[in-house]
Structure 1
Amino acid sequence: MKLHILTRNRVIGIICLLAAITIGLFISLGMSSGEENNEVVFTIDTYEVKEAEFNAILQEKKALTTSYFKQTYNVDYSENFWTTTYEGENPLEYAKQQVMDQLLLLKIEQILMKENEIVSDISYDSFLKNLEIENIDRQNKIKNNEPIYGPKVYGTLEYYSYLHSINYQKLVDKLTQEALAVLSDDAIQQMYEEMKQLYFHKGYNFKYEKITIVNDINSKEILEKVQQLTATKDISVEQAVASLAATVQVEELALNINEASKDDTLSYYLNELFTDSNEGDFNEIDTKGNELVMYRLLEKQDKGFEKFDDVKSAVIQIHVKGQLEQKVSQRLSQANVQINENIYNKLVIE
């Protein structure tokens, strides 16, 4: 990716020396266009990113930047925060680089959307017109007691993110349909075999033991002894507990994550824990109120994979998304990015 930063003096010099030659570089002297926030901050290939778009995202980087400098340099926000350099790193420049990285990626994706006729205009001016139309439409629906989905009024960045996500999915859907038209079932089947473990595995059903003891001075030692005895003597937890003459509660339970409610955090935690465990494994001893608890996985039943015919479209879509991400990365590495230094340097976080 080529970055060209042209200063005012360099541009004037080129104009003076080569006035009759068309220069294939982005040249901007930072002159006022008469429209507020309408200066070009940078171009990517032939597309412009203006001050209003860059600045809208920049203002949202305040919290992220202050958090980063707090964690990295233990620096608290102050009046001189944005103009101070901490071990060679300046908060404002850090924030602006974050915006550059984000916008370069977004713009490449938007360029691909335009090339694939998902959108006709990727300018920020066009986006703002769409935002205004959307919010007027929502207000009219509210006045007419018609249902709306989402917020009553979209904020600028909220709608920017929403609209980009919708259009990106439209691009994926278009490319998926194109791929379905040319790929054979054998090719799609091969893709399925390669990705099914990651994307289409149904998971496991589990049987496990919950082992609980009242938390006192010797409790952790007792549970560790239970673990040791079951491993070295090949006996059950109940037998290990009996040999220690300890007051330990042992419950045999089952877990099918498909039957758990969305707010059942313990079940989701155990499902993840057991998925990465082998039969017979104990987990770390944990404190629950006035008790110590540990779990032992007894049985891990593989539920298999989703059938190919049921996920054929999903296979194509995953394949297309992977190819699209590679294309975005390639286009980004080859993009001709030219920064208007005069405007870029004037941007600040308010």
Structure 2
Amino acid sequence: MKQKAHRWKRIMGAVSAVVLLMAGIWWLKRPSYEVMKIENSIITQDHLALYETDCRAQIASDFYSKYKLDPNEDGFWETSVHGESPKEALRQMAMDRLLRDTVERVKASQYGIPADITLKDIKRSLEKENKKRQSSERISYGPGQYGLMEYVSRTQMEIRDELKRTLMEEKLEPSQDQLKELYAGADPSLFDKGCRARIGIYMFYGMKAGEYPEELKKVWCYVEKGLAQGMAPADLIHGINEWSEAKIEYEEAVYDMSDLPRDNQEITWLVEQTRFLEPGQNSGVLDYGPSQGILLVLDKHDYGKAGYEESVPLLKNMWLEKAYEEYIKQCLEEYGYHVK
């Protein structure tokens, strides 16, 4: 009798273990609960959690800048300051981003643009993409393997661009009168065709912290007076070197905004600092990294303002950006989400 009882206990123990194991598996694989539904697509908590993770650094930075709250301190996310909580702000930012992204994906799919909407479908496509990247030698762009949020961001950008293009063709195309009105009322600098300029550069390179502070003030004062008097660069440099240990170098550079190198930071800086100066005007003393200098515009040829016909591609892009934002806002409101 006792043996039967022991055998029964062992059987029940094994059954209990199996039940607990199955319950644990169900718990781990249970569906994440719904946080929003758009059309027939259910967006779940795990999808929102992905966006919350992506937004954490931004919220931490915002609360540190605004309230000097240290995100590394215990209790940071539960803190409340003037009615604001990092935890609530994080959830709201993530919800706003997820909501907008989901609406874009839903609308894209309605226009026949391939777009995964739920996190489950996105993960399935990510797995296929990474397998393809692992085995294919033809893919030469992007990372060897995508992370989940990295893949979400990349595909979101592609979907958004394709949706904009489609909407421009089918729904949001502006009339010529609307484009002309936009051209007439826009900031003229948007249609600036740029210029070709020759710049004289007086520069002290590689200044260390605390090196020649008073000396450099005297040097730049001397340069500015010399420029006002029309002194030649060689005479200016020679005059400075006679009494100063802060050695100033002079060189000239030419830039043409119709053909600027994209990866030259120095030329980009020159354009930014001198674009709206006239020949004979100088920039005053500028910092360039650890260096200081004065830029003098020697001569310049302006290409003028682009006319309406030349500006149509730009005007269409300007129109589309505004029209697209209004379209997405309208879609959100149609789905019952108020947008400020």
- Give me the TM-score of the superposition, normalised by structure 2: 0.70
Structure 1 position 87, deviation (Å): 4.8
1:327-349 CA distances to partner (integer Å, 9 max, x unpaired)? 123333554149xxxxxxxxxxx
| 1:39 shift after superposition | 0.9
Task: Give per-residue Cα distances to partners, 1:156-190, cap 9 Å, x unaligned.
Answer: 11111111111111112223334798856x76666
The CA distance in 1 between the partners of 2:161 and 2:124, in whole Å, is: 21
1:251 shift after superposition:
4.4
Counterpart residue number, 1:99:
94
RMSD of aligned alpha carbons: 4.0
Residue 99 of structure 1: how far off its partner (Å): 0.2
- Are 1:61 and 2:55 counterparts? yes
State the partner residue of 1:204: 195
SS at match of 2:72: coil
What does residue 303 of structure 2 align with?
303
Q: SS at 2:277's partner residue?
A: coil
Q: Post-superposition shift, 1:54?
A: 0.5
In structure 2, the residue matched to 1:151 is 143
The answer to whether residue 43 in structure 2 is matched with residue 70 in structure 1 is no
The aligned residue for residue 17 of structure 1 is: none
Note the C-alpha offset of 1:68: 2.8
| 1:307, distance to aligned residue in structure 2 (A) | 7.5
Greater C-alpha radius of gyration: 2
Matched, 1:332 2:332: yes
Q: State whether residues 208 and 298 of structure 1, in contact with CA within 8 Å, keep that contact through their aligned partners in structure 2.
A: yes
> Which is worse superposed, 286-295 or 37-46?
286-295
Structure 1: which amino acid aligns with 2:303? K
Q: How does 1:185-224 map to 2 (within 5 A)?
A: 197=188, 200-212=191-203, 216=212, 217-224=214-221
Q: 100-109 or 170-179, which moves further after superposition?
A: 170-179
Q: Deviations over 1:102-137 (max 9, x none)?
A: 122223322332332324763333323222332233
Give runs of aligned pairs for residues 39-50 of structure 1, distance below 5 A.
39-43=33-37, 47-50=41-44
The amino acid that maps onto 1:48 is I
Alpha-carbon deviation of 1:55? 1.0
Q: Alignment partner of 1:149: what SS? A: coil
Could you tell me which runs of 5 or more consecutive residues in structure 1 were left unpaired when the two chains were aligned. 1-31, 339-350
**What TM-score do the two structures reach when normalised by structure 1?**
0.68
User: Offset at 1:265?
Assistant: 1.4
Q: Aligned equivalents of 1:289 and 1:49: distance in 2?
A: 47
| Amino acid across the alignment from 1:330 | Q
Structure-1 residue corresponding to 2:163: 171
Q: Provide the residue aligned with 1:108 in structure 2.
A: 103
2:5 maps to which residue?
Answer: none
Q: 1:99 to 1:308 in 2, by over 3 A?
A: same
Structure 2 residues without counterparts, runs of 5 or longer: 1-25, 206-210, 242-247
Distance in 2 of aligned mates of 1:337 and 1:249? 61
Relative contact order, higher structure (CA 8 A, sep 6+): 1
Give the AA of the match of 1:135.
N
Letter in 1 for 2:159: N
